[in-house]
Structure 1
Amino acid sequence: MHDPTSERLASYADVLAGELPDTWTSSHLPADVKDDLADLSERIWDLDLVAAHLAEYPLAEAAVLSRPDGAQLVVLNRHDSRESFLIAALAPPALPDEAYRAVPEPNGVALGDDPFLGAEQVAGDLLVRYDRALAQVRHNALAGIRPSEPDRLVLTWQLDGSIATAPADDRASAVLTAHGFMQDPPSGLHRLSGDDTQAQARALRAIGPRLDALGIDTALQNPAGRNAPTAAPAPVAPVPAGSRTQATRSR
């Protein structure tokens, strides 16, 4: 069945993407991709207008605008006004919760039905605040993570139990990716989730010999102010016992 409201959102987002500075692409998420919409809702980086709207009107469809450096915006219908939209920033999916501490949310804004005027509003307001917040959280994510060298890979425990590293070249990156590390291209970080500690330990044991065969040593470190986990998996260097703590990010 033809849905003029859905078509209007997709068309508006397409024009908006073409009018924003730099290069943006637009993709429409219809109502039937419920899991994707649920994941998207969790990433909306807003504690003001958009958050209040979603508390009353759960996300039923959306359009996502993406920039090559990983920045993303989400456009949604404003159900309390037929002729307007809301737009908000999306938080990067691969950064740890602690990276968001003390970083103000780049709260979203309401847009009228003219995408050309909307683009001017976004470029002069939301994008400025979003780019500033993005730079800060990416800087925070790198804090305490020593850059690796071609012959040495430094793995750093994070407060949420994950392990992060910044491989020096594609050889190490390929090994990490093959063993469950997720890459965040904008920051260059590779992260291994701590949700399943046994799987995490197996991955760390597996990458050691593969990296060693490439002439790359591995080392495990703790960022300042953090204790080590209760067990450090081989073959990386041993660290003292301690306990994990959990950080929470608010958006």
Structure 2
Amino acid sequence: MHDTDPSDLESFATILAGELPGRWTSQYHPDHGGGADYDHLTATVWDMDQTAHSISTHGVAHCAVLTRTDDDTRLLVIDHLGQPEGFLVAALAPAGLPDAAYAGVREPDGLAVPADPFHAAEAATLHLLPRYADAVAHARRNAAALEAPLPEQIDLTWADDDLTTPVPESVALARLLTEHGFVHDSRQDRLVLPGDDTAVQAQSVRGLGARLAELGVGVGMRHPAPPAPATASPLPARVTPSSARRR
């Protein structure tokens, strides 16, 4: 039985930490009368929805940070300003990953919850924490791919008027290709440089080649292998009459 007031942010966060799965701690950051600066926390809020909007509109005078000690997952709890009651709970991006690792990763956007830590814990467990786990796994895969060594050469293959190449394992190289006009063809799972405008295509290839040369990566140009010639079916063997003597 909790004898704290869950409508108070500090108390709400304390109770919430005890109801989430795993071992969590709660650290309250108080309101210092307008003198508090929590930009170092709000800058890492992994949200492009209502939590980000609230922070940009109202700022953050006080907050609480919940940390799961098992894996350092962090949640930020702030007042839901503009609403009669309730709080916003959002994930904080993990530390130690390069900015490029977040490219293409969908934010695990936070939740608006009433001043009921038990309801909030259920909502966070069912929705926010799974989204956060998926986003972290994606970002970490990106980070690992960023460290993948660049190949010695990439091969561009003509397909009609287009140039195609397999999607490279290196995220940095894939980004470089897309910056020079290549688009992903999901049907072929290849990167394609369209040949609708041959002048633009040639300019893209020249720019890409110069950039790859700086990185020590060569460019090979290939034409698709011609189809194998059809082989004529052998004529059936001619049947000759038997030379056996007749009776």
Secondary structure in 2 aligned to 1:39? Answer: helix
| Residue of structure 2 equivalent to 1:50 | 51
Gaps of 5+ in 2: 151-169, 177-212, 216-247
Asked whether the 8 Å contact 1:75–1:86 carries over to 2, the reply is yes
| Residue of structure 2 equivalent to 1:59 | 60
Q: Structure 2 vs 1, CA of residues 224 and 38 (structure 1 numbering), >3 Å: closer, same or farther?
A: closer
Aligned counterpart in structure 1 of residue 95 of structure 2, from 89, 93, 96: 93
Q: By how many angstroms is 1:123 displaced?
A: 0.3
| Residue of structure 2 equivalent to 1:78 | 80
| Residue of structure 1 equivalent to 2:127 | 125
Q: In structure 2, what is the Cα distance between the partners aligned to 1:140 and 1:241?
A: 23
Q: By how many angstroms is 1:137 displaced?
A: 0.8
Secondary structure in 2 aligned to 1:59? Answer: coil
TM-score (norm 1): 0.55
Q: Structure 2 vs 1, CA of residues 129 and 223 (structure 1 numbering), >3 Å: closer, same or farther?
A: closer
User: Which digits, 9 at most, give the CA deviation of each residue in 1:186-234, with x for residues without a partner?
Assistant: xxxxxxxxxxxxxxxxxxxxxxxxxxxxxxxxxxxx985299xxxxxxx
| Residue of structure 2 equivalent to 1:195 | none
Aligned length: 153
Q: By how many angstroms is 1:64 displaced?
A: 0.3
| Residue of structure 1 equivalent to 2:159 | none
Asked whether the 8 Å contact 1:27–1:65 carries over to 2, the reply is yes
Q: By how many angstroms is 1:51 displaced?
A: 1.1
Amino acid at match of 1:44: V
Amino acid at match of 2:14: D
Moved more, 13-22 or 137-146: 137-146
What percentage of residue pairs aligned between the two structures are identical? 41
Asked whether the 8 Å contact 1:6–1:30 carries over to 2, the reply is no
Amino acid at match of 2:43: E
Q: By how many angstroms is 1:7 displaced?
A: 8.4
- Give the number of the structure whose alpha-carbon radius of gyration is greater: 2
RMSD of Structure 2 on Structure 1 (CA): 2.9
| Residue of structure 2 equivalent to 1:231 | none
Q: How does 1:164-175 map to 2 (within 5 A)?
A: none
